[in-house]
Structure 1
Amino acid sequence: MPYAAQTPDDLLPRSEILGMSGLTFMQRVLKGEIAGAPIAATLNFNLLEVEEGRVRFCGTPEFSAMNPSGAVHGGWYGALLDSALGCAVMTKVPQGSVYTTLEYKVNITRAIPLGMFVHCDAVVDHAGRTTSVAHGEIRGAEDGKLYATGSTTCIIMKPG
């Protein structure tokens, strides 16, 4: 079961990350061998499935994710989609490289009710030498309704 880093010391040094493929890294996060991103615990979402070019997250927005008008803040949708989209891209990153988000877009199609359990699926559409593109969606785990879609462009880099 994945776990989120609690302190900077929980995070794997970049040199170790560069020593494995992105797919291996993500599989090890899923198995709980490597700590995941602290933001996942903060925002109450988690990695659920990993395969090459695809990931699934799950999560539930809590009271702390609400905006002043009583709805789930758009940033919660964005953080969940950015995490899933980036992790899908990571599964295609070769050993010795890293990625970062260049841009991402979120389209909220309906409000997620507070406390609703959702799935966020992300799929890589293009994995090139220097850029990758992915798309994803948030759906209710029980009702299957579409709550948001998103897309990203990521840059692939060889540090040093």
Structure 2
Amino acid sequence: MAKLAETLDDMPGMDDLLSRSGLEFMQDMIAGRLPGPPIGAALGFAPISVEEGRVVFEGAPQFTVTNPMSAVHGGWYGAILDSCMGCAVMTTVPRGSVYTTLEYKVNITRAIPLGTRVRAIGTVDHAGRSTGVASGEIRGIGDDRLYATSSTTCLIMKMA
């Protein structure tokens, strides 16, 4: 992702969103033709690849996302997994439509050591007219260890 939005005015508008398919929108964001959201910079992750039905994010949790027990907060796992799964669903959304997450579930299988580079992979299991279902996982880049699994259901809404 080449550039990130720095203000709400920098964020892509509805015209940017609705004039593209979800896949085109994601491709343009990763290529830097559209600014990306700042959440990834704040939490230390970013999308690195996109294809229809599959999106990959990479990142590393830093000290700023620790909980009172000095471990990576579960919300970090949730944020990167919600991002990769939701964006995977986005790649199946037709031009003129948008999606939103209805629910997601995360199963943390082991703690991610601070600074460990991980890959979060979101894969679409079902893409219908009104719902999308996806699964996700976090794996270590260096060791391929499984750190978490997840699932989501998203609502797909026709806007135009």
Q: TM-score, normalised by structure 2?
A: 0.97
Give a deviation string over 1:29-74, Cα, whole Å, max 9, x none. 1101111221111001001100000010000000000001100000
Runs of 4+ that moved beyond 2 A: 1-4
Unpaired segments ≥5 residues, structure 1: none
**How many pairs align?**
160
Give, in whole Å, the separation in 1 of the partners of 2:32 and 2:102. Answer: 28
Letter matched to residue 136 of structure 1: G
Q: Distance in 2 between matches of 1:129 and 1:137?
A: 25
The reply on whether 1:50 has 2:31 as its aligned counterpart is no
Q: Give the match for residue 103 of structure 1.
A: 103
1:136 aligned partner? 136
**Where in structure 2 are there 5+ consecutive unaligned residues?**
none
Q: 1:2, 1:46 within 8 Å by CA — same for their partners in 2?
A: no
* 2:131 partner letter: T
1:5 offset after TM fit, Å? Answer: 1.6
Deviation at 1:10, TM superposition (A): 1.3
Q: In the aligned structure 1, how far is the partner of 2:37 from the partner of 2:110?
A: 27
Q: Distance in 2 between matches of 1:159 and 1:4?
A: 25
Equivalent in the alignment of 1:8: 8
The aligned counterpart of 1:156 is 156
- What is the CA distance between 1:2 and its match in structure 2? 3.8
Q: Secondary structure at the match of 1:4?
A: coil
Q: Which amino acid aligns with 1:17?
A: L
Deviation at 1:16, TM superposition (A): 2.1
2:82 maps to which residue?
82
Aligned to 2:24: 24
